Chains A and B, each alone.
Chain A
């Protein structure tokens, strides 16, 4: 299973764009990259998933370079309610959760 590395924490202000980068140097050919958001005492919530290039949905964008050894989750115009832990996961089945990135959005 590919190991991922993300910043442990990030601070941002309301209305700013936040980019969280995840490294996954040993990603396998058939691995997808999935990002989840988790609030305290709640189940991880799916944000976005991609395989290569760029994926965009109503809440975020995911940028994946050609070598797929990293990915960047972009959250446009964050609000206080986006304060949460964000997990980058690589693989298909049994996710290995790393420490995640604790995002704090300040007023």
Chain B
């Protein structure tokens, strides 16, 4: 079965640069979530989209923005990168956003900021 696709899988940037992470949800899934997982930490919710509209916002820094496009893929844009942004970034998708709508996670993008 098709899974969530994330690209790139690895990304190395310098401080103060920008980065764009992409997420392609499972076909027919209309909801996308972004999570950040720092080294040795648990995943932290950043932001979610349902039917191309922002659905909920978590601990996403103001330097980050995201959107969901008409084909339901999503992009997380990160500017003025800091060393502390080095982390694994996971995208998850679900069909619907109700309590029983299971989130399926992608393999993640490992961002390293030097």
Interface residues of A (CB under 8 A from B): 30-32, 34, 36, 41-46, 49, 51, 87, 91-100
Contacts and interface: CB of A to CB of B under 8 A. Distances in A.
A4 to B, nearest CB: 11
B88 interface: yes
Nearest to A85: B42
Counting chain B residues whose Cβ lies within 8 A of the other chain, the interface size class is 20 to 34
B42 A99 contact: yes
A49 B88 CA distance: 25
A41 B112 CA distance: 13
A5 to B, nearest CB: 13
Interface of B: 4, 33, 35, 42-45, 48, 55-56, 58, 88, 90, 92, 97-108, 110
A93 B107 contact: no
8 contacts: A43-B90, A43-B107, A46-B105, A51-B99, A51-B100, A92-B101, A93-B55, A97-B45
Contacts of A36: 105
B48 A44 contact: no
B99 to A, nearest CB: 3
Contact of B43 (A30, A44, A49): A44
